[in-house]
C-alpha cells in the first residue's frame, strides 16, 4: 500500500460528533480560517480530522467517548481530500457503541492500513497539532526524532576528524559509539582490578621472601617440640593392650546383639498383639442355644394357657374344652411350664459358671502375657548393658590408655603438626618467588600499556561520537526553536541521551501562548522535512500569532475566537480582522 505523502483536506462532514448531532460540513482550502465564539465547534473540526485519520481526538487520548454527541448513539466523520498527484480520496470513520469502521475510497480498512497509507499517530498529530509533540509525547519525542533522523555515515564522520584520530579508528567498527566506549571502560576496569590483584601478589611475594627463613626456623623448632610430646603420648596410648582381642570382643557383642535384638523385638511385637482365645466358646454356644429353646417353649406354653377357654381345643388331644375338663388340662400345662422354668434356670446357672471360668482364664492369660513381656524387656535391658560395653571398647580402641584430656591433646598435636607441614611446604615454594615476581611485573607492565592504548582509543571514540552527534543534530536546526538529544558527561566524556526543548534559549515551560504556538509550528515544519510528509497543520487560538504568521508548507487551518457564529473563510483574512 503506497503512502500518501502530501494531501489537502477539501471538506469535513460530521454527524453525532461533539456538538453536531445532525449532519454538519465545512469546506476548506489551502489556507482556511475557522472563526467563531467559544463552544461553536472550531476545535471540533480539528478533532474530527484527527479522529478520521488516527481514531483519537486532537490530543491523542485513547478514550473517544467525549466525542460522541450526548443525544446520539453513534457518530461518523467523512473527510474528502486531494493528494499531491491531484487524486481525490474519501475517508470515513464511524462508531456505533463499541464498534468502529474505517472506509477509505469505498474499501474497508484497518488502523494498521491507515498507518501504512498515511503515518502513525504521533507523527500525524505532531504535524497536524503543533503543540502535540512537546506537550503530549514529551521525552518520547526524542526517541521519535532519533527514528526519523537519517543515520550519519561513518565516512562523513571520519572526514571531519584529524588524521591522527582517523589512524586510530581506521580498523575499528563503531556501530554504536556509546556502547563501544562503555565496553572499553569496562575492559579498563577489569584490567585495573587485575592489576590490583597482581600488585597484591607482588607485595605478598616480597614479604614472604623476607620472612621465609625466620618463619621456617620458628616452625621447625615448634615441630620438634610437638613431635617429642606426641611420641610420649603415642607410646602410652596402646602400651600393653591387646587391640585384636578388643576388636574381636566388640565384633562379638555387635553381631550377637544384632541377632538377639531382632528376635526379642519380633517376640515383643507378637506378645503385644496376642489376643485371648476362650476354651469355653463351644459350651457357651450350646447353653445359649438351650436357653433360646427354653424361652421359645415358655412363650408357647404361656400362649396355650392364655388361650385355654371353654369351647377351645385341648392342645394335647384336641377335644373341646369344657368347664369340666378345663382345670385338668390347665394343670397339665402349668406343670410343663414349671418344668420349663426350672430347666431354664439351670441353664442360666450353668452359663454363669462358664463365664466365671472364662474370665478366670482371661485374667490368667493376661498375667502370663505380662510376665512374658517383662522377660523380653529384661533381656533388652541386658542387651543395652552389653551395648554400653561395646561403646566402652570402641572408646578404648580410640584413646587406649590415654585420658580424655590426653587424647584431645594428642589430636590437637597431630592437627598442628599437619598445619606446620603445610606452612613449611609453602615456605619452601618461596624459593621460586623471584621468577614468579618477574612474571607478575611483566604482566603488570603489559596491562598498563593496554590501559594506555584503551584510553587513547576511548578518547578517539569520544571525539568520533561528539562529531557524529554534531552532524546528527545539525539536521534538527530551526529558526528559533532548538532540541537537544545528547549531552556529554564531563567526568567521563561519555555521551548520554537527553531531551531538552527551548525557544530563543528559553525553556518551553516559561514560554507565552504565542511563543508556544510558534515553537510548535517550527517543530511541525521540522517533522515535515524529516518525514517528507506535507500534511495539514491546525493552529488553535491563532489570534495570538495572526499578525506575524509565516506561511508553512502544506495546508494551514487557523482557528480564531470571535463573538460570532461558526463560519469558515478560505480567502486571506483582512489585517484588521486578524489583529
Tell me the pLDDT tens digit for each residue of 451-461: 998 888 888 88
Rounded to an integer, what distance in angstroms lies between the CA atom of residue 466 and that of residue 474?
12
Rg (CA), the chain: 57
Confidence of residue 139 (pLDDT cuts 50, 70, 90): low
User: 550 pLDDT exceeds 70?
Assistant: no
Rounded to an integer, what distance in angstroms lies between the CA atom of residue 340 and that of residue 334?
10
Task: From 399, 430, 454, give the residue that closes a domain.
Answer: 399
Signed CA dihedral, 17, 21, 23, 25: sign only: negative
530 or 485, greater pLDDT: 530
Any domain includes 296: yes
Any domain includes 561: yes
Question: Does 248 lie in the same domain as 139?
Answer: no
Q: Identify the pLDDT of residue 579.
A: 36
Confidence of residue 576 (pLDDT cuts 50, 70, 90): very low
Q: 178 and 167 in contact (C-beta within 8 Å)?
A: no
Any domain includes 279: yes
Confidence of residue 296 (pLDDT cuts 50, 70, 90): very high
Count up the domains in the chain and report the number: 2
Any domain includes 282: yes
Any domain includes 391: yes
Question: Does 23 lie in the same domain as 141?
Answer: yes
Q: Identify the pLDDT of residue 514.
A: 87
| DSSP 8-state assignment for residue 133 | I
Least confident of 228-242, 346-360, 525-539: 228-242
- Average pLDDT (477-492) is 75
Question: Does 248 lie in the same domain as 122?
Answer: no
Query: For the segment 321-371, what is each residue's pLDDT rounded down to a tens digit?
Result: 888 888 888 898 889 889 999 998 998 898 898 888 888 888 988 888 888
Task: From 378, 399, 420, give the residue that closes a domain.
Answer: 399
Question: Does 385 lie in the same domain as 262?
Answer: yes
Any domain includes 350: yes
For 503, 539, 579, the CA distances from 511, given in Å and listed in that order, are 8, 17, 21
Averaging pLDDT over each range in 11-15, 206-210, 389-393, which range is the top one? 11-15
User: 410 pLDDT exceeds 80?
Assistant: yes
Query: Domain with 513 in it: what CATH number?
Result: 3.40.50.300
Q: Identify the pLDDT of residue 432.
A: 61
Return the closest-CA partner of residue 488 out of 517, 459, 509. 459
Q: Identify the pLDDT of residue 321.
A: 84
| DSSP 8-state assignment for residue 137 | I
Any domain includes 254: yes
Range of the domain at 274: 243-399
Any domain includes 74: yes
For 59-181, strand residue ranges (E) read 74-83, 88-96, 99-104, 107-109
Q: Identify the pLDDT of residue 494.
A: 64
Q: pTM above the 0.75 mark?
A: no
Q: Identify the pLDDT of residue 102.
A: 96
Confidence of residue 548 (pLDDT cuts 50, 70, 90): low
Task: From 399, 420, 445, give the residue that closes a domain.
Answer: 399
User: 106 pLDDT exceeds 90?
Assistant: yes
Query: For the segment 490-504, what is each residue's pLDDT rounded down to a tens digit?
Result: 666 566 777 788 888
Q: Identify the pLDDT of residue 53.
A: 96
Amino acid at each position: 500500500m503506497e503512502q500518501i505523502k502530501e494531501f489537502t483536506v477539501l471538506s469535513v462532514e460530521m454527524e453525532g460528533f461533539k456538538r453536531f448531532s445532525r449532519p454538519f460540513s465545512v469546506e476548506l482550502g489551502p489556507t482556511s480560517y475557522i472563526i467563531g465564539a467559544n463552544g461553536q465547534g472550531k476545535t471540533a473540526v480539528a478533532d474530527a480530522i484527527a479522529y478520521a485519520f488516527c481514531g483519537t481526538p486532537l490530543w491523542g487520548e485513547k478514550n473517544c467517548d467525549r466525542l460522541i454527541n450526548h443525544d446520539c448513539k453513534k457518530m461518523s466523520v467523512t473527510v474528502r481530500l486531494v493528494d499531491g498527484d491531484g487524486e481525490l480520496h474519501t475517508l470515513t470513520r464511524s462508531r456505533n457503541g463499541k464498534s468502529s469502521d474505517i472506509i477509505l475510497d469505498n474499501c474497508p480498512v484497518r488502523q494498521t492500513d491507515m498507518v501504512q497509507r498515511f503515518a502513525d499517530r504521533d507523527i500525524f498529530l505532531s504535524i497536524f497539532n503543533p503543540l502535540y509533540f512537546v506537550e503530549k509525547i514529551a521525552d518520547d519525542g526524542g526517541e521519535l526524532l532519533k527514528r526519523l533522523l537519517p543515520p550519519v555515515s561513518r565516512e562523513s564522520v571520519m572526514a571531519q576528524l584529524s588524521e591522527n584520530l582517523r589512524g586510530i579508528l581506521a580498523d575499528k567498527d563503531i556501530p554504536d559509539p556509546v556502547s563501544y566506549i562503555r565496553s572499553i571502560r569496562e575492559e579498563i576496569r577489569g584490567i585495573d582490578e587485575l592489576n590490583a590483584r597482581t600488585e597484591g601478589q607482588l607485595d605478598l611475594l616480597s614479604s614472604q621472601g623476607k620472612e621465609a627463613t625466620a618463619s621456617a626456623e620458628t616452625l621447625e623448632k615448634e615441630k620438634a617440640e610437638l613431635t617429642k610430646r606426641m611420641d610420649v603420648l603415642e607410646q602410652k596410648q596402646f602400651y600393653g593392650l591387646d587391640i585384636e582381642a578388643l576388636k574381636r570382643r566388640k565384633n562379638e557383642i555387635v553381631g550377637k546383639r544384632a541377632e538377639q535384638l531382632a528376635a526379642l523385638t519380633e517376640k515383643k511385637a507378637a506378645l503385644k498383639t496376642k489376643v485371648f482365645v476362650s476354651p469355653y466358646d463351644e459350651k457357651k454356644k450350646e447353653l445359649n442355644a438351650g436357653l433360646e429353646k427354653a424361652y421359645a417353649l415358655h412363650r408357647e406354653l404361656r400362649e396355650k394357657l392364655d388361650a385355654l377357654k371353654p369351647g377351645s381345643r385341648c392342645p394335647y388331644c384336641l377335644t373341646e374344652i369344657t368347664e369340666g375338663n378345663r382345670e385338668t388340662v390347665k394343670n397339665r400345662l402349668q406343670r410343663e411350664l414349671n418344668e420349663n422354668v426350672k430347666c431354664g434356670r439351670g441353664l442360666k446357672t450353668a452359663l454363669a459358671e462358664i463365664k466365671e471360668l472364662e474370665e478366670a482364664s482371661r485374667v490368667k492369660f493376661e498375667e502370663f502375657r505380662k510376665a512374658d513381656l517383662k522377660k523380653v524387656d529384661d533381656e533388652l535391658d541386658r542387651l543395652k548393658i552389653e551395648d554400653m560395653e561395646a561403646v566402652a571398647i570402641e572408646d578404648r580402641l580410640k584413646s587406649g590408655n590415654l585420658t580424655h584430656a590426653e587424647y584431645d591433646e594428642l589430636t590437637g598435636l597431630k592437627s598442628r603438626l599437619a598445619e606446620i607441614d603445610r606452612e613449611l611446604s609453602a615456605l619452601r615454594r618461596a624459593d621460586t618467588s623471584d621468577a614468579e615476581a618477574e612474571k607478575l611485573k611483566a604482566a603488570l607492565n603489559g596491562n598498563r600499556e593496554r590501559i594506555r592504548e584503551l584510553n587513547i582509543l576511548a578518547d578517539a571514540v569520544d571525539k568520533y561520537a561528539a562529531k557524529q552527534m554534531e552532524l546528527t543534530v545539525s539536521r534538527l536546526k530551526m529558526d528559533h526553536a532548538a532540541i537537544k538529544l545528547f549531552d556529554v558527561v564531563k567526568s567521563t566524556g561519555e555521551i548520554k541521551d537527553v531531551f531538552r526543548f527551548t525557544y530563543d534559549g528559553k525553556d518551553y515551560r516559561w514560554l507565552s501562548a504565542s511563543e508556544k504556538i510558534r515553537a510548535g509550528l517550527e517543530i511541525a515544519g521540522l517533522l515535515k522535512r524529516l518525514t517528507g510528509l506535507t500534511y495539514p497543520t491546525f493552529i488553535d487560538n491563532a489570534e495570538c500569532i495572526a499578525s506575524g504568521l509565516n506561511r508553512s508548507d502544506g495546508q494551514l487551518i487557523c482557528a480564531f475566537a470571535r463573538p460570532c457564529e461558526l463560519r469558515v473563510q478560505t480567502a486571506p483574512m483582512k489585517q484588521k480582522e486578524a489583529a
